[in-house]
Structure 1
Amino acid sequence: MMLSFFDQFMSPSLLGIPLMALALTLPWVLFPAPSTRWLNNRLLTLQSWFINRFVQQLLLPLNRAGHKWALLLTSLVLFLITLNMLGLLPYTFTPTTQLSLNMGLAVPLWLAPVIIGMRNRPTIALGHLLPEGTPTLLIPALIIIETISLFIRPVALGVRLTANLTAGHLLIQLIATAAFVLLPLMPTVAILTAGLLLLLTLLEVAVAMIQAYVFVLLLSLYLQENI
């Protein structure tokens, strides 16, 4: 029986029970916990360095009111990076290839700053819908366009993450299938295809990390506009 290439993106189940919750819980188990020793091991040191660098970059454009979001956004980027990286391992499932999960993360994290901005600074928040110096005739059209762009932001966040990971996984599976098919027919071409597959896998690792960073970075920019 031939399986579709898109079967890898189906939510796995065991005895009819969805395993999505297990796939979402696994990354938290893998995070190293700080110890009481004076010196940390290499993994903890690398994790602490990454978190410090990310928090510095995250808080750079934010004012002091936005610094309270640092813990949430840092946890989110670690969570997304781990989910994306685990999905590249054999016999694993990438939950972030599901649009429903990405939209479930994007919509509340986009809506919260918007509501905070409307409550605390309604004049400035509504002022983003109309750029300064707009001609009178263009005011109704620009307000409609800016309103649509405001509400399309969470859709863009979720679709961007889903599309990039889905495209990378599909391309890896296509090239891997081509390498297996060409191995008995043209071994030299199959070896070259396997080398291309290795390079693509390294690229997909970079994409998994970059897309998680871009997701949280855009959320911090939306937060900057409203706080």
Structure 2
Amino acid sequence: MTLNLFDQFLSPTLLGIPLIGLALLLPWLLFPKSRLRWLNSRLIQFQNWFVIRFTNQLFLPINQKGHKWAALLTALMLFLISLNMLGLLPYTFTPTTQLSMSMAFAVPIWLATVLIGFRNQPNVALAHFLPEGTPTLLIPVLIIIETISLFIRPLALGVRLTANLTAGHLLMYLVSYAAFALISIMPTVAALTSILLFLLTILEVAVAMIQAYVFTLLLSLYLQENTYGPPSTRMSYS
């Protein structure tokens, strides 16, 4: 019996070795790779179509200099989707339910976008702390608020990803435990609870994909704020 519901989110170990490393390496082994042949399989074709569509949609409002981040953000989104989806399987572990892991994804990329903004357009980056036309009395307060807002962004990214996945996993655990406990007492209620668990699982699959997309989308918006120049035309891949 689980004494603490949050014990299921502890990183499992085998012979003293944390298995979180295996969970981080496994997704890259599942992606099919292109072969030296004329026609690819349907799975590879779908994967290529998905990557191209996602990259076009994500970098549409970003200028040409920001397109250097396309490979990084696309790979990050695919990696997060894989981690979140694999975590829904029985007897598996979801690394993104650890706040430290989510922060490890959010902080470096957020910091890189901020440093790019201060390097390429320092005046514009500093202007975000003090909008034009601010009353003199509100200048110190507004600068403090904008500074806190800037540094809270990576925390919000990590907490959003972790909290959504943790809440869904806890809810699935509680519903499944209720269905198992009621199966011998009230079979009808247990069957209805099992249906609810099935619907909740479908919802969690959607949440796993949406949260990975939102995480990457917000990072792209931070990148857009810190890249200069007008947005370029749609990226084209052939």
Q: Same fold (TM over 0.5)?
A: yes
SS at match of 2:38: coil
Looking at structure 2, the residues matched to 222 and 124 of structure 1 have their Cα atoms a distance apart, in angstroms, of: 14
Looking at structure 1, the residues matched to 190 and 121 of structure 2 have their Cα atoms a distance apart, in angstroms, of: 61
Which structure's residues are more often helix, by fraction? 1
Partner in structure 1 of residue 173 of structure 2: 173
**Superposition pairs of residues 3-42 of structure 1, within 5 angstroms:** 3-42=3-42
Deviations 1:165-215 (A, max 9, x none): 000000000000000011111111110000000000000000000000000
Looking at structure 2, the residues matched to 3 and 148 of structure 1 have their Cα atoms a distance apart, in angstroms, of: 38
Q: 1:222 to 1:4 in 2, by over 3 A?
A: same
Measured after TM superposition, the shift of residue 114 of structure 1 is: 0.6
- Of all paired residues, the percent bearing the same amino acid is 73
SS at match of 2:40: coil
Q: How many residues align?
A: 227
Moved more, 176-185 or 132-141: 132-141
Partner in structure 2 of residue 109 of structure 1: 109
Partner in structure 2 of residue 49 of structure 1: 49
Partner in structure 1 of residue 128 of structure 2: 128
SS at match of 1:92: coil
1:74 counterpart letter in structure 2:
T
Measured after TM superposition, the shift of residue 32 of structure 1 is: 0.5
Looking at structure 2, the residues matched to 98 and 2 of structure 1 have their Cα atoms a distance apart, in angstroms, of: 19
Measured after TM superposition, the shift of residue 12 of structure 1 is: 0.8
Deviations 1:62-118 (A, max 9, x none): 100000000000000000000000000001000000111111111100000111111
2:212 matched to 1:187? no
Looking at structure 1, the residues matched to 40 and 115 of structure 2 have their Cα atoms a distance apart, in angstroms, of: 41
Measured after TM superposition, the shift of residue 2 of structure 1 is: 4.0
1:28 counterpart letter in structure 2:
W
2:174 counterpart letter in structure 1:
L
Partner in structure 1 of residue 223 of structure 2: 223
Looking at structure 2, the residues matched to 21 and 47 of structure 1 have their Cα atoms a distance apart, in angstroms, of: 25
Partner in structure 1 of residue 138 of structure 2: 138
Partner in structure 1 of residue 204 of structure 2: 204
Structure 2, unmatched stretches of 5+, are 228-238
RMSD: 0.9
Measured after TM superposition, the shift of residue 35 of structure 1 is: 1.5
TM-score between the two structures when normalised by the length of structure 2 = 0.93
Measured after TM superposition, the shift of residue 133 of structure 1 is: 2.1
Structure 1 runs of 4+ aligned residues shifted over 6 Å read: none
2:175 matched to 1:147? no
SS at match of 1:157: helix
TM-score between the two structures when normalised by the length of structure 1 = 0.98
Measured after TM superposition, the shift of residue 3 of structure 1 is: 4.0
Moved more, 112-121 or 147-156: 112-121
Partner in structure 2 of residue 157 of structure 1: 157
